[in-house]
């Protein structure tokens, strides 16, 4: 397979009068500096057919002749991308670097195409509805052509100064996986944007595939299914003969929405909390030894049994509870969290998965059913402040506190039923998307008493992708550094999830002083060591 398209360079402009550090991205179409051009494989003869040619000739309606009906949750979803980088150690040979890169691009493109074939509508494009200006429509071609990949998969040529060569890539700075690893210049716009994009980039020691998943059509379960199919397809034996065109998304059973079911929205008229400038944030991946996680889980179970609380806590609950308690202790010490307050965790989960009986994965699922649970705990119960200020830094985390936090997290997730999802569908159908998204941002106070949790552990597979010249037994997943916001805590994918022998990894983004204290506390309590590898 050969690609003739190349990413247009991104021109980044920052408004000096705006201290919010908001970055504006513009596309350069006609004027391209020579040193900005990315690697372009040899051009083949492609004229007259294929999506790229059809769009250039203005034949959008003729080529994209099928339409997928979007649910109310999808219509109101933020029109932005979830960016995830798949990184693998990679052997680079300067003598035949062009051949190496072309082989990698061919393998990734072929696997991407096979994955799209399973969900053909992912090969289409979102457009503004022709009948309702405020809504989207997803149109896609009846027969996807390999040439359609020209606009979906791009490659960035190796930069000899770009070196990602460590035994454990999780020890790298998260800034190594920023906007240059993704299709950053392809931010969703009302005119046209695609459900999924990818960029293949190379560094000395690593190959990175940066995926961009549209929040309109992807939730966590959808991303898991896509990545699993993609990785299987890199081995060449996945023909995807079973198409998954018929979607079974939840349908609202009520015309009224009970707003009290959703503390993730704040309907007051006050302004949202001011965002911390990007330069004042720090993100880091922490690797926690698998034996310590197992020991923590066992102690939490013993504590629950002894206290007769009848609660439940899974591995991921205990792991996230450890960071919930540790982060809020750091914020308490830094004066951002007070004893009379309550701590909140906004936990985004796929609603369809959490309302199935029995609760099982749907391997054909592709859609957005994201629902946000809110776990709440009193500050006094969560951080157990010391008797004196002098004792504060010497105090270790109480296991009883972690056990309480873990039970609160699991109870919140288990409390979701089909009723919640039905009322959320009604809410999204009745209210303006801008209004609901603003209400969500208002409720999520990232700088003070709230954290945003995501569990990506299910994205891991039993085997790494089969990429030419890469170490097949190792792969790493990173969120996009430039997308991370304060208070974000993400469990990164694990091989075999519960039953693997790999360590647990979590990506955390906090204000600089909160991060420094979190690192200090985790090291002192011997939960984390900077020398620990995956």
DSSP secondary structure letters along 391-453: GTTTPPPPHHHHHHHHHHHHHHHHT--HHHHHHHHHHHHHS-HHHHHHHHHHH--TTTTEEEE
Cα–Cα distance, 359 to 356 (Å, whole number): 5
Cα–Cα distance, 273 to 434 (Å, whole number): 17
Are 212 and 196 contacting, i.e. CB atoms less than 8 angstroms apart? yes
Are 446 and 274 contacting, i.e. CB atoms less than 8 angstroms apart? no
What whole-number percentage of the chain has pLDDT above 90?
50
Q: What is the pLDDT of residues 87-139, one digit of tens each?
A: 999 888 878 888 999 999 999 999 999 999 999 999 999 988 888 878 899 99
Confidence at residue 47, expressed as pLDDT on a 0 to 100 scale: 28
Confidence at residue 223, expressed as pLDDT on a 0 to 100 scale: 96
The pair phi, psi for residue 165, each rounded to 5°, is -130, 95
Q: What is the pLDDT of residues 284-293, one digit of tens each?
A: 999 999 999 9
Q: What is the pLDDT of residues 255-272, one digit of tens each?
A: 788 999 999 999 998 888
Q: Which stretches does DSSP call E strand in 204-307? A: 206-214, 281-288
Q: What is the pLDDT of residues 443-459, one digit of tens each?
A: 999 999 999 999 998 88
Are 162 and 155 contacting, i.e. CB atoms less than 8 angstroms apart? no
pTM: 0.86
When the pLDDT of each residue in the chain is averaged and rounded to a whole number, the result is: 82
Q: In 21-119, which residue ranges form alpha helices assigned H by DSSP? A: 51-56, 60-63, 72-75, 97-118
pLDDT of 395 > 90? The answer is no
Which range is least confidently modeled, 25-29, 167-171, 446-450, 498-502?
A: 25-29
Burial of 1 (0-12, 13-18, 19+ CB in 10 A): middle
pLDDT of 4 > 70? The answer is no
Confidence at residue 110, expressed as pLDDT on a 0 to 100 scale: 93
Taking alpha carbons only, the member of 411, 219, 432 closest to residue 317 is: 411
Cα–Cα distance, 440 to 431 (Å, whole number): 13
Cα–Cα distance, 286 to 530 (Å, whole number): 8
Burial of 108 (0-12, 13-18, 19+ CB in 10 A): buried
What count of Cα atoms within 13 Å lies in the side-chain half-sphere of residue 249?
Answer: 24
Confidence at residue 147, expressed as pLDDT on a 0 to 100 scale: 75
pLDDT of 411 > 70? The answer is yes
Cα–Cα distance, 291 to 530 (Å, whole number): 16
> What's the whole-number mean pLDDT along residues 400-415?
94
Cα–Cα distance, 482 to 490 (Å, whole number): 15
Confidence at residue 323, expressed as pLDDT on a 0 to 100 scale: 98
pLDDT of 19 > 60? The answer is no
Confidence at residue 185, expressed as pLDDT on a 0 to 100 scale: 62
Confidence at residue 496, expressed as pLDDT on a 0 to 100 scale: 65
Q: Give 391's contacts (C-beta < 8 A, 6+ positions apart).
A: none
> Residue 163 has which token pair?
């070196």
Confidence class of residue 216 from pLDDT cuts 50, 70 and 90? very high
Longest CA–CA separation in the chain, Å: 77
Confidence at residue 5, expressed as pLDDT on a 0 to 100 scale: 42
Q: What is the pLDDT of residues 494-503, one digit of tens each?
A: 876 666 788 9
Confidence at residue 257, expressed as pLDDT on a 0 to 100 scale: 87
- Cα separation values, 533 from 169, 286, 287, 416, Å: 9, 10, 7, 36
> What's the whole-number mean pLDDT along residues 419-435?
90
| Buried/exposed code over 278-298 (b: 16+ C-beta within 10 A; e: otherwise) | beebbbbbbbbeeebbeebbe
Confidence at residue 244, expressed as pLDDT on a 0 to 100 scale: 65
> What's the whole-number mean pLDDT along residues 194-214?
93
- What is the 3-class SS of 43-57, one letter each residue? CCCCCCCCHHHHHHC
> What's the whole-number mean pLDDT along residues 26-55?
32
Assign domain 259-476+484-524 to a CATH class.
Answer: alpha beta
Residue for token pair 């022709």: 130
Confidence at residue 56, expressed as pLDDT on a 0 to 100 scale: 37
- Break the chain into its structural domains and give their ranges: 63-233, 259-476+484-524
Confidence class of residue 188 from pLDDT cuts 50, 70 and 90? low
User: What are the percentages of helix, strand and coil residues in the chain, rounded to 5?
Assistant: 35, 20, 45
Taking alpha carbons only, the member of 156, 197, 108, 154 closest to residue 4 is: 154
Cα–Cα distance, 321 to 319 (Å, whole number): 5
> What's the whole-number mean pLDDT along residues 82-90?
94
Confidence at residue 130, expressed as pLDDT on a 0 to 100 scale: 82
Residue for token pair 């990232």: 446
Confidence at residue 160, expressed as pLDDT on a 0 to 100 scale: 66
pLDDT, greater one: 63 or 457: 457
Whether the domain at 63-233 and the domain at 259-476+484-524 fall into the same CATH topology: yes
Q: What is the pLDDT of residues 297-312, one digit of tens each?
A: 999 999 999 888 778 8
Confidence at residue 531, expressed as pLDDT on a 0 to 100 scale: 77
Confidence at residue 15, expressed as pLDDT on a 0 to 100 scale: 33
CA-based end-to-end distance of the chain: 35
Domain 63-233: CATH superfamily, name plus number: Chloramphenicol acetyltransferase-like domain (3.30.559.10)
Which range is least confidently modeled, 71-85, 128-142, 232-246, 471-485?
A: 232-246
Confidence at residue 314, expressed as pLDDT on a 0 to 100 scale: 92
């Amino acid at each position: 397979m050969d690609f003739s398209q190349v990413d247009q360079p991104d021109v980044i402009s920052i408004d000096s009068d705006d201290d919010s550090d908001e970055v504006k991205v513009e596309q350069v179409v006609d004027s391209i500096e020579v040193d900005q051009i990315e690697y372009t494989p040899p051009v083949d003869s492609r004229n007259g057919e294929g999506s790229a040619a059809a769009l250039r000739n203005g034949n959008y309606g003729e080529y994209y002749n099928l339409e997928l009906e979007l649910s109310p949750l999808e219509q109101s979803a933020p029109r932005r991308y979830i960016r995830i980088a798949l990184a693998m150690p990679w052997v680079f040979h300067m003598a035949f670097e062009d051949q190496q890169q072309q082989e990698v691009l061919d393998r990734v493109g072929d696997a991407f195409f096979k994955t799209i074939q399973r969900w053909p509508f992912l090969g289409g494009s979102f457009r503004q509805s022709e009948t309702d200006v405020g809504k989207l429509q997803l149109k896609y071609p009846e027969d996807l052509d390999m040439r359609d990949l020209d606009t979906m998969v791009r490659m960035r040529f190796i930069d000899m100064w770009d070196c990602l060569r460590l035994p454990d890539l999780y020890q790298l700075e998260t800034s190594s996986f920023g906007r240059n690893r993704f299709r950053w210049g392809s931010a969703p716009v009302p005119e046209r944007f695609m459900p999924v994009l990818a960029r293949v980039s190379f560094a000395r020691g690593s190959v990175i595939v940066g995926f961009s998943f549209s929040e309109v059509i992807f939730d966590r379960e959808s991303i898991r299914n896509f990545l699993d199919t993609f990785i299987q397809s890199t081995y060449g034996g996945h023909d995807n003969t079973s198409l998954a065109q018929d979607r079974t998304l939840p349908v609202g059973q009520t015309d009224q929405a009970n707003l009290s079911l959703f503390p993730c929205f704040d309907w007051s008229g006050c302004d949202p909390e001011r965002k911390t400038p990007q330069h004042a944030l720090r993100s880091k991946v922490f690797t926690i030894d698998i034996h310590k996680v197992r020991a923590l889980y066992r102690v939490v179970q013993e504590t629950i049994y002894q206290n007769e609380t009848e609660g439940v806590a899974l591995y991921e609950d205990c792991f996230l509870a450890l960071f919930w308690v540790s982060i809020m202790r750091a914020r308490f010490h830094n004066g951002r969290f007070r004893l009379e307050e309550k701590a909140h965790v906004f936990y985004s989960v796929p609603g369809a998965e959490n309302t199935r009986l029995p609760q099982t994965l749907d391997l054909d699922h592709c859609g957005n059913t994201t629902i946000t649970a809110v776990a709440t705990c009193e500050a006094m119960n969560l951080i157990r402040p010391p008797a004196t200020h002098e004792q504060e830094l010497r105090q270790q985390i109480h296991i009883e506190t972690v056990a309480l936090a873990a039970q609160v997290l699991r109870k919140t997730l288990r409390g979701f039923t089909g009723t919640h999802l039905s009322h959320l569908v009604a809410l999204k159908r009745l209210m303006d998307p801008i209004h609901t998204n603003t209400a969500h941002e208002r409720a999520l106070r990232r700088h003070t008493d709230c954290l945003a949790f995501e569990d990506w552990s299910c994205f891991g597979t039993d085997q790494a992708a089969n990429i030419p010249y890469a170490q097949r037994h190792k792969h790493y997943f990173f969120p996009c550094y430039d997308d991370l916001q304060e208070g974000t805590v993400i469990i990164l994918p694990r091989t075999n999830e519960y039953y693997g022998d790999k360590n647990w990894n979590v990506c955390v983004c906090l204000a600089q002083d909160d991060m420094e204290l979190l690192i200090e506390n985790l090291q002192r309590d011997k939960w984390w060591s900077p020398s620990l590898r995956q």
